[in-house]
Structure 1
Amino acid sequence: MARNPERRTALLDAAIEVLADEGARGLTFRAVDARAGVPTGTSSNYFTDRDQLLSQVGDRIFVRLTPEPGAIGTAMRPAPSRELMVELMRRLARRMAAERTCYLGLFELRLEAVRRPELRTQLTRVLRSDLDENVRLHLDSGMPGDADTVRLLYFALTGLLLDHFTVPGLHGERDLDDLIETVVNRVVPEV
């Protein structure tokens, strides 16, 4: 198996693009090689099978979606409030929009996980860990609300982003920032 980490990363990034553009059915070694601009057969030197590729694509998506070190601490400096929650949710949505391909790839992985128990186990572990960390940060920072507040915001933002990326005209003239503010104001209790 090949050991060039930069090439592996480039192949995984190409696989994310294929996944976002063509869905899980379009994710083949040949498609990844073409997207990465490498000779046919290169991907099969790095990944033993499609399941391993899917698994490592999931890992790579979470690496790309993770904020830069220190970004969370900086964002949490203002006093806890509903207004800060609105701003944090907007920042999160902007980060996801900047990594639109990753976010769409993650949706495709979720759908594929319905049919692949090992992928489902991996995604569940990673998503649960991420959600648990968000709950911990929320509670430790003294933000208004409880663990269920974070879960409700997670559900709402996941749905809003799915709509935003797949059927952007669904909510008419309302923009994403406005919808986020509405959700936060209805879910997060006043301090």
Structure 2
Amino acid sequence: MTGNPQDTPTQERGRRRRAHLLTAAVDLLTEGGFAAVTHRAVAQRAGLPLAATTYYFTSRDQLLAEAFAQLVETELATTRHWTTRHGLTGLADQLATADRNRQLGLWELYVHAGRDPALQQIARRWTDGCVRIVADALDLPATDPRARLLYTTISTLWLEHIVEQRPLHDTRALLTTALENASHLA
């Protein structure tokens, strides 16, 4: 261990404060979208002074990028866990019944990534992670175009369900059909 031992509690407190701010930003992002994430709103949600947001994040863009990155990592872990437990066909239920606000946050990432190269990297991490999950479930290499094609089908149906609020049973039926037909891909 290097440095002054008295710095450890201060550093830990700083890590906790930064984590609280980031969690608040993710919550605001999923509740109200891109526009809801302001320094003032994040500080208020985290119960910290406004100056803390600019101390831990150099800009709103950095705060948003890190919030999107955290959301992506959390949702990838959730999707991988669900798929491991329930198989690829179980993914239809997970996508059709997941928290709509969190899903909207992920799709909003794509809209803003079209104009922001920093967010493009995060959006690509989401897509590549989802393709990997599908490929693993089909026992295909992640680079196999069939895995990406199936993921694209799943995500299109998922987007229709979220944005257009199509009936859950229609979305679930179409997702299940697409996933059942996936056995013919491998």
- TM-score by shorter chain over 0.5: yes
**1:130 aligned to 2:129?**
yes
TM-aligned CA deviation for residue 106 of structure 1: 1.8
Identity %: 28
CA distance in 2, matches of 1:22, 1:158: 22
Change over 3 Å in CA distance of 1:135–1:178 after alignment to 2: closer
Name the structure, 1 or 2, with higher relative contact order (CA <8 Å, separation 6+). 1
Q: CA-atom RMSD, angstroms?
A: 3.4
Structure 1: tracts of 5 or more residues without a match: 77-83
| Map of 2:114 onto structure 1 | 114
- Change over 3 Å in CA distance of 1:173–1:39 after alignment to 2: closer
Report how many aligned residue pairs link the two structures.
173
**Amino acid corresponding to residue 127 of structure 1 in structure 2:** W
Task: Give the Cα separation in 2 of the matches to 1:174 and 1:91.
Answer: 10
Q: Which residue of 2 aligns with 1:90?
A: 92
**1:86-116 C-alpha deviation (Å, 9 max, x unpaired):** 22x235426x714x44332222222111221
Amino acid at match of 1:177: R
User: 1:56 deviation in Å?
Assistant: 0.9
The question of whether the paired residues in 2 share the 8 Å contact of 1:15 and 1:57 is answered with yes
One-letter amino acid of the structure 2 residue matched with residue 165 of structure 1: I
3-state SS of paired residue (1:115): coil
Which residue is equivalent to 2:4? none
The secondary structure found in structure 2 opposite 1:66 is helix
Distance 1:36 1:63 in 2: 21
1:12–1:109 Cα change, 3 Å: same
Runs of 4+ in 1 over 4 A off after TM superposition: none
> What letter corresponds to residue 77 of structure 2 in structure 1?
P
More helix by share: 2
In the alignment, the residues of structure 1 paired with residue 24 and residue 117 of structure 2 have an alpha-carbon distance, to the nearest angstrom, of 24
> Could you say if the C-alpha distance between residues 117 and 28 of structure 1 is closer, same or farther in structure 2, counting changes exceeding 3 Å?
same
Q: Using the alignment, how far apart are the partners of 1:142 and 1:151 within structure 2?
A: 11
